[in-house]
A and B are shown apart, each in its own frame.
Chain A
Amino acid sequence: MKVSLFITCLSDAIYPKVGEAMVRLLAAHGIQLDFPPVQTCCGQPSYNSGYWDETRTAARTILKAFQSSDFVVSPSGSCTYMIHHYPELFKDEPEYLALAHELESKTYEFTQFLVKVLGITDIGAAFPYKVTYHPSCHGSRLLGIKDEPIALLNHVQGLELVPLPFAEDCCGFGGTFAVKMADISGAMVTEKVDHIKETEAEVLVGLDMACLMNIAGNLRHRGEQVRVMHLAELLYEGVSVR
């Protein structure tokens, strides 16, 4: 069975440690990830801005990359959800449309893959810190990933999970929104960080590096010491320490 890593451009360029954590965690469970290098970006930035021709250009690299994969796993709920738009994008290109339908059916966000496909909730990690979790919008609302990360976190030894007030509220990233409507986005991320501070958590964990980049950027701007991690990083660190 071929399980491929859909790294996402953001993790590839800025957060490679997230990909590394996924690779090592899955390898420890006997799943050797494959990485098709022809993949670039899912096309979400241009899709959300209304540039669909440009989106198709990027999306084709993804469709080609994973043609022969049985499972595709990604560290982002948002990029995973983007795949669900492919059938609509390629409705007039039969060859790619078939690939799009297939890719949609075999692509999973990281925790979905662990919990729903592999049936793993206890990865054997220990992480003795106070942690709060931000559910990213696309993963939780549009893909319905709500219980998976909580199940994984609940099995981490020593981890104290504290609820984040207004957790379900968007962090204000929204891709080009953060640039185009910088002040509105700034107000949103400021409020998100206010809520994170209320929890007095040492670590903020999430499933989407774009949102975490946004939140981490504001935390740092304000001189806050909260560590920001992808759940894969947290789990991997928790396994390595043991």
Chain B
Amino acid sequence: MNPASSTRGTVKERADIALNDDFLRNAVRFTTDRLRSGKKVASTEHGNWEEWRERGRQIRLHTIAHLDYYLNLFVENARSNGVHVHFADNAVEATDIVMTIARQKEAQSVIKSKSMVSEEVHINQALELSGIEAIESDLGEYIIQLAGEGPSHIVIPAIHKNRYQIAELLSEDAGETLEPDTTILAGYVRRKLRQKFLEADIGMTGCNFAIAETGSMVLFENEGNARMVTTVPKTQITLMGMERIVPSWADLEVMATLLPRSATGQRLTMYMSGITGPKRTVDADGPEEMHIIIVDNGRSQQLGDPEFQELLNCIRCGACLNVCPVYRQIGGHSYGGTYSGPIGAVLTPALNKNVAEWDDIASASSLCGACYEACPVKIPLHDMLVSLRRRKVERGHGDKLEALGMRGFATLMANSKRFALAMRLGKIAQKPFVHNSGIHLKLGPLKGWNTYRVAPTLANHSFRDQWKELSAETAAQPKTIDPAVRQRMEQVLADRQHNKSTSRTGGESHE
């Protein structure tokens, strides 16, 4: 992987690279804007989106809560279909199984369709080390493979590159100059990969969904490369996250409604394929041998953890990336892991057991909640980010200076008299720095803030200092309340009282 996509450095350092790359930021803005407006149009056109989201969430919640049952059912059914099923606790085990199969098949080349799990376990590197050619066949993946990079978006892996950069990469690959025209560039890749498909010994795919009741695996795609990978080579290997399960084809309808609309604003991807076992004896195409490797690699850690279990509901649509105001500024590689954006900020630390490696990814969020609002299965990513921060603090990995500051904050806010005194003292202390009723100082904690802003000053008189006078003034000329308004208020109180007596938990939210 290239430096930009490695986990080296801090989020801040990686983000700085992106923040100084105007092209990257423009490319990311341009594409995410299109994707998110596409999603808006598609979800509005479909209608009742909230109801579908809730249904999607319920199906995912149910499946994950009974994952041992459904996954086992899937395994038994897939085996009956003639699939060879394998289990991998971690990335090393997953690559070992792939290598075992590749060796037995004396494979020279493996052709792949897009798979985030394969990125997660770094399968390409493992294959290349053994002298086996690994070829990405998704156009975007092919491009970043040539560039030696990881994907910077779950759905659009080369979102950070422009056509000129891509033309350069492909020209070098072709040994001739290709014009920076998307049709020419895509045409070159089509011709080049056609040959690779026909020569490849093994086809490797990811898995969008696996249907427990029939042991089928389902792939969504637009290019047709996943179909090629599952049609042409003699051996198929599918890498599947253990949580990819849905119970039935009926449930697939819900996922097929949510995934393409959320990802790209499509009614459905151009291809959706349900693969149930290897080719039948009488068939003249399709893989003769089919392997499915079910990968844990940190996923089971989220099970039984009330704060993070819903993370397994993710259907990898990338909608949270497209609306994220932070991703928009820093792109995917700044997140330093396979998964980027809000889902990556939570998933990367969650999949890694080592607390020290939690890094500061979780801090790179303003907690605006756009991710949650966009998520087709309603994963509360903004709450999870706070939970990650809290765990880091609780386990003693927090920033020492920040901890000190927070203790000071608590001391100050524990008592209103202390807070009032601090405001008065602050007013005096700020005097030397005030200029035109603003603070421009670029020192200490104000450095970052004041690089982009002018800081406000404390008011001459705090609200609490003015309260006595203000309240006396308004009380002096009391107005009568509109009876209709009063009635409304009384109704709200009565409703609240009613809710309180009917609900065991007491006060309910009024939203």
Name A's B-contacting residues (CB within 8 A): 1, 7, 9, 11-17, 19-20, 23-24, 27-33, 35, 37-41, 43, 45-55, 57-58, 60-61, 70-71, 84, 87, 98, 101-106, 108, 116-120, 137-138, 141-144, 168-170, 172-191, 213-214, 216-218, 220-221
Task: Tell me the nearest residue of chain A to B477, going by C-beta.
Answer: A27
Not counting A13-B463, A61-B413, a sample of 9 additional A-B residue pairs whose C-beta atoms are within 8 angstroms of each other reads: A9-B413, A27-B479, A29-B482, A29-B485, A104-B508, A105-B509, A106-B496, A141-B372, A220-B454
Does the CB pair B485–A20 fall under 8 Å? no
Our count of residue pairs bridging A and B at CB distance below 8 angstroms stands at 275
- Across the interface, which residues of A come within 8 angstroms of B484, CB to CB? 119
Chain B, 384-441, CB within 8 A of any chain A CB:
386, 388-394, 398, 402-403, 406-407, 409-416, 419, 423, 426, 438
- Partner of A221 from B415, B454, B457 at Cβ < 8 Å: B454
The reply on B367 being an interface residue by CB < 8 A is yes
Closest approach, in angstroms, between the C-beta of A67 and any C-beta of chain B?
13
- Asked whether, in the complex, the Cβ of A181 is within 8 Å of the Cβ of B19, the reply is no
Residues A23 and B448 in contact, CB atoms below 8 Å apart? no
The interface residues of chain A lying within 8 Å CB-to-CB of B448 are 178-180, 182-183, 185-186
A8 to B369, CA, bound (A): 21
Given contacts A106-B496, A174-B367, A218-B452, contact A54 B407 (CB under 8 A): yes
Residues of B within 8 A of A182 (CB): 447-449, 451-452
Cα of A189 to Cα of B19 in the assembled complex, Å: 13
Q: Are B419 and A105 in contact (CB under 8 A)?
A: no
8 closest cross-chain pairs (CB), A and B: A182-B448, A174-B366, A217-B453, A30-B481, A105-B507, A50-B389, A186-B452, A170-B368
Instruction: Tell me whether A14 and B457 are in contact (CB under 8 A).
Output: yes
A interface majority secondary structure:
helix
Nearest-CB residue, chain B, relative to A62:
B413
Q: Is the CB of B389 within 8 A of A217?
A: no
Cβ-defined contact, B475 with A178, below 8 A: no
Q: Which residues of A contact B414 (CB under 8 A)?
A: 40, 57-58, 60-61
- Is there contact, CB below 8 Å, between B467 and A214? no
Q: How far is the CA of A172 from the CA of B452 in the complex (A)?
A: 11
Residues of chain B at interface, number, CB under 8 A: 94
| Contact across chains for B485 and A173 when beta carbons are under 8 A apart | no
Task: Tell me if A101 and B368 are in contact (CB < 8 A).
Answer: no
- Is the pair A35, B368 in contact by a Cβ cutoff of 8 Å? no
Residue pairs across A and B with Cβ atoms less than 8 A apart, 29 shown, are: A13-B426, A14-B457, A15-B456, A20-B466, A23-B474, A35-B464, A38-B416, A40-B415, A46-B410, A50-B393, A52-B390, A54-B407, A54-B410, A58-B414, A60-B414, A61-B416, A137-B367, A142-B369, A170-B325, A172-B366, A175-B366, A179-B449, A180-B360, A182-B448, A182-B449, A184-B326, A185-B366, A186-B448, A221-B453
- Does B454 lie within 8 Å of A217, measured CB to CB? yes
